[in-house]
């Protein structure tokens, strides 16, 4: 960091250089230029740093506490109970799915057998946000609620690397490896995408991607003005070894 005297000296040098070229800059422009030069100099010896952990490493460690057993189904039931659902269904789906009109070519790998976890409640905007906050439980304060998108949800990564959640007017895809949805905007900072299908007819634009959801347990995606009166979790059975 430069002292006040050094900054003043730099200002005078710049003024002299511009004057020699027959140019005149006001004090505000000169000060702005000095700040830019100082910032550039700082980048040579100072850069952002800190403790961090790749998301996939974090998930791998979490799975040690949440093995692939009946606990996964309990977690889905708990989430449904929190949301006030009256019905919960688990559906094994082995339909043959198209691979043409998808969100990205990489998504073709996921057009395979999957497990659906359905309930008749709805996600709120806050619920979608909570499920994205890895490591921050969104459990309700009410004693009637027995668990809401805490770390236990991540047990689903025992089955899949690309879970999806459809509810109300949105669908969320979680892609922790950022290897399937980067072309749709997923990044290391935000490893997934959230689509609002009231604003675009997803069944028309990405038919093969969303036909598995269509008409399943009453979910109707024919009209972009219609909400999905349910919440459906999808777990395609494909894993990337980490």
| Mean pLDDT to the nearest integer, 152-178 | 87
The confidence score (pLDDT) of residue 208 equals 93
- Strand-pair category, 192-196 with 164-168: unpaired
Q: Name the maximum alpha-carbon separation found in the chain.
A: 81
* Sheet of strand 170-174, all strands in order from the earlier edge strand to the far edge: 88-93, 114-119, 228-236, 164-168, 170-174, 192-196
The confidence band for 44, taking pLDDT boundaries of 50, 70 and 90, is low
Query: Residue 214, Cβ neighbours under 10 Å: how many?
Result: 13
pLDDT digits (tens, 9 = 90+) for 98-111: 999 999 999 998 88
Domains in the chain, CATH or no CATH each: 4-43 (no CATH), 55-236 (3.30.565)
Checking if the pLDDT of 50 tops 60, the result is: yes
Q: How far apart are CA 78 and CA 76, in angstroms?
A: 5
Query: Residue 207, Cβ neighbours under 10 Å: how many?
Result: 16
Return the residue matching tokens 């999808």: 234
Checking if the pLDDT of 158 tops 60, the result is: yes
- Look up the pTM and report it: 0.70
């Amino acid at each position: 960091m430069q002292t006040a005297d050094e900054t003043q000296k730099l200002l005078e040098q710049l003024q002299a250089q511009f004057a020699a070229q027959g140019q005149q800059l006001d004090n505000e422009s000169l000060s702005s230029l000095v700040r830019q030069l100082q910032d550039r100099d700082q980048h040579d010896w100072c850069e952002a740093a800190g403790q961090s952990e790749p998301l996939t490493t974090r998930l791998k460690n979490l799975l040690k506490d949440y093995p692939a057993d009946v606990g996964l189904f309990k977690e889905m039931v708990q989430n449904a109970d929190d949301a006030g659902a009256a019905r919960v269904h688990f559906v094994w789906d082995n339909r043959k799915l198209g691979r043409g009109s998808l969100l990205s070519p990489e998504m073709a790998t996921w057009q395979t057998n999957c497990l659906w976890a359905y309930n008749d409640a709805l996600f709120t905007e806050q619920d979608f946000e909570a499920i994205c906050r890895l490591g921050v439980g969104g459990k309700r304060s009410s004693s009637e609620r027995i668990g809401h998108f805490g770390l236990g949800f991540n047990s689903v990564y025992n089955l899949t690397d690309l879970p999806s959640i459809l509810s109300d007017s949105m669908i969320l895809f979680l892609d922790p490896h950022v290897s399937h949805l980067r072309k749709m905007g997923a990044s290391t900072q935000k490893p997934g995408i959230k689509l609002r299908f009231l604003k675009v007819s997803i069944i028309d634009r990405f038919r093969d991607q969303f036909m598995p959801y269509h008409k399943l347990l009453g979910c109707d995606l024919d009209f972009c003005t219609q909400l999905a009166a349910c919440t459906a979790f999808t777990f395609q059975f494909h894993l990337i070894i980490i």
